[in-house]
Amino acid sequence: MDLNDTPELAEYRTVVRAWLEEHAAEAPDPRADDDDAVAARRAWQRRLAEARYAAVTWPAEYGGAGLGPLQQVVVNQEIGRAGVPGIFDIIGVGMLGPTLIAHGSEDQKQRHLGPMLTADEVWCQLFSEPAAGSDLAGIQTRAKRQEDGSWRLSGQKVWTTNAQHAAFGLLLARTNFDVPKHKGLTMFVIPMDAEGITVRPLRQISGEAHFNEVFLDDVRLEPGSEVGAVDDGWAVGMTTLMFERVTIGLGGEGFGWRADRFAEALLPDDACTRDAETRHRFGEIATDFLALRFTGYRMLTSLQRGQIPGAEGALAKVTTIRAAIAAGDLICDVLGPDGLSDERFGELVSDMPGLKSAGGTEEILRNMVGERVLGLPPEPRLDKGIPFSELRAKEKAAV
């Protein structure tokens, strides 16, 4: 057990800290989120990218620092310490870029990774659909190959963060309806300004619109837009989801959901800090957040040893959401009705019910962990080995 930096890591931390101290004045306000703020945060990402702090683990040839997960954590910690925002396009740089590095063609990497890193081109992830979330392989967006090798796409995507800002998206579509559902999918790069794309914001409980719906009406894609092999999109998508787990698993405290922050919220009214029930609830919530911090260090140790992060990371997500829900409830109970309108805590109350389903619902994550970690048998399935084109009829017949 050693949480201290090695001499090399301590030196790296010193350099990062010095850079951040020198440039902190250029950083935008992390809380603002109007259009000007987005432009400012993209400009800040460019500054981080130029210093090679935007994508620490990307290979140097694609603009990263070519370093390990520990250095990435050091950068995250120092950014948090400096009180400045991190990169704007977490989804692109954290999840989609690594997917392109793993599965994309050399042309795709050369064309896209640079502008993604500098936030000149923001990216979005177009996987989920209204009728396919937990069961992602059930997507119905159709991509049909044309005689000249180009593609025509039609369908609808949903829960698309940053679609309104994005230049490109990574999109999963069905290219073969006559094979079982996991086998007929292909991953594509799609320019978001293509003709036939409509982006519509989805407002949530808080009134904010963090997500969009994206409609695709006979959108044409150039030949060579596919990422990885045709009909092999499921494997490509799994890579993205693995990076998503790492990003979430190591980034929970980045949202500011930390035991010490919630403790501060109890201070203004001294009676709160003496009330037995409040203390008991807070003690339990804080314990969950502490457990998450040290589970993160355990995951990081595995990553550093070259182990692929397993399904256990899913449990960290379950704990994160549950503890954040409980924390929002507690702080708003303490603050009273005004708390619900508070920027920090009211949004926690309003956003959490939806976030419970983001990145896999709690139920689907528990299934995954139960089957892959505990080795429990899966529920019987009606879709095993059935061509996708026959699935609907079979599902209806089973009701």
Partner 1 sequence: MNFALSDEQEFLKEAARGALSRVPTVEAARGALDGGDLPDLWPVAVEAGWPGLLVADAQGGAELGPLEAMLVFEELGRVLASVPLLGHLPATALLAGDDRVVPLAAGDARAAFVPAKPPTDLDAAWTTEPLLGLTRAPAPTYADGTVSGRVAWVPDAPGADALVVVLEDGRAAYVKSAAVEEASVYDVTRSLGHVTFDATPATLLETTPEDAAAAWYLAQSLIAAEAVGAIDVALATSVAYAKERHTFGRAIGSYQAVKHELVEILRGLDNARSLMYYAGWAAVDKPDEFPLAASAFRLAAGKAFDHAARAQISVHGGIGATWEHDAPLYFRRAQLHRRLLGGTAGAADRVAGELITAARAA
In angstroms, the first-to-last Cα distance of the chain is 54
Does position 395 interact with partner 1 (CB under 8 A)? The reply is no
| For partner 1, the closer CB: 148 or 260 | 260
The sign of the dihedral angle between the CA atoms of 118, 208, 360, 154 is negative
Does position 2 interact with partner 1 (CB under 8 A)? The reply is yes
Q: Quick one: which of 32, 373, 382, 393 contacts partner 1 (CB under 8 A)?
A: 373
187 contacts 170 by C-beta, under 8 angstroms: yes
DSSP state of 336: -
Instruction: Name the segment binding partner 1 (CB under 8 A); options: 20-28, 84-92, 143-151, 276-284.
Output: 276-284
CA distance 214 to 237: 18
For residue 378, the minimal CB distance to partner 1 (Å) is: 6
For residue 283, the minimal CB distance to partner 1 (Å) is: 3
Q: Quick one: which of 154, 273, 357, 361 contacts partner 1 (CB under 8 A)?
A: 273
Q: Quick one: which of 72, 141, 239, 295 contacts partner 1 (CB under 8 A)?
A: 295
| For partner 1, the closer CB: 184 or 313 | 313
For residue 312, the minimal CB distance to partner 1 (Å) is: 7
Q: What is the CA radius of gyration of the chain?
A: 22
Interaction mask 303-342, partner 1, x per CB under 8 A: -x-------x--x--xx-----------------------
Does position 77 interact with partner 1 (CB under 8 A)? The reply is no
Site for partner 1 (CB under 8 A): how many residues?
A: 56
Give the HSE-up count for residue 180: Cα atoms under 13 Å, Cβ half-sphere: 8
Q: Quick one: which of 221, 300, 325, 334 contacts partner 1 (CB under 8 A)?
A: 300
Chain Cα centroid distance, residue 114: 20
Site for partner 1 in 241-270 (CB under 8 A): 259-260, 263-264, 266-267
Q: Quick one: which of 268, 294, 382, 394 contacts partner 1 (CB under 8 A)?
A: 294
Cα separations (Å) of 219 from 105, 141, 143, 157, 229? 22, 11, 9, 13, 20
Look-up: residue for tokens 């559902």? Answer: 181
CA 265, 251, 125, 213: dihedral to nearest 10 degrees?
-10
381: left (phi over 0), alpha (psi -120 to 50) or beta: beta
Does position 363 interact with partner 1 (CB under 8 A)? The reply is yes
Does position 372 interact with partner 1 (CB under 8 A)? The reply is no
| For partner 1, the closer CB: 16 or 214 | 16
Instruction: Name the segment binding partner 1 (CB under 8 A); options: 5-13, 181-189, 245-253, 385-393.
Output: 5-13
| For partner 1, the closer CB: 123 or 282 | 282
174 contacts 145 by C-beta, under 8 angstroms: no
Among residues 244, 264, 277, 343, the one annotated as catalytic is 244
CA 102, 108, 114, 119: dihedral to nearest 10 degrees?
-90
CA distance 322 to 320: 6
156 contacts 130 by C-beta, under 8 angstroms: yes
Does the active-site annotation cover 244?
Answer: yes
Cα separations (Å) of 254 from 82, 102, 119, 266, 307? 12, 26, 20, 21, 23
Which tokens hold the place of 317?
Answer: 């997500």
Instruction: Name the segment binding partner 1 (CB under 8 A); options: 112-120, 155-163, 233-241, 371-379.
Output: 371-379
For residue 227, the minimal CB distance to partner 1 (Å) is: 33
Annotated active-site positions, please?
244
Contact footprint for partner 1 (CB under 8 A): 1-6, 9, 70, 259-260, 263-264, 266-267, 273-274, 276, 278-280, 282-284, 286-288, 290-295, 297-298, 300-302, 304, 312, 315, 318-319, 363, 366-367, 369-371, 373-380
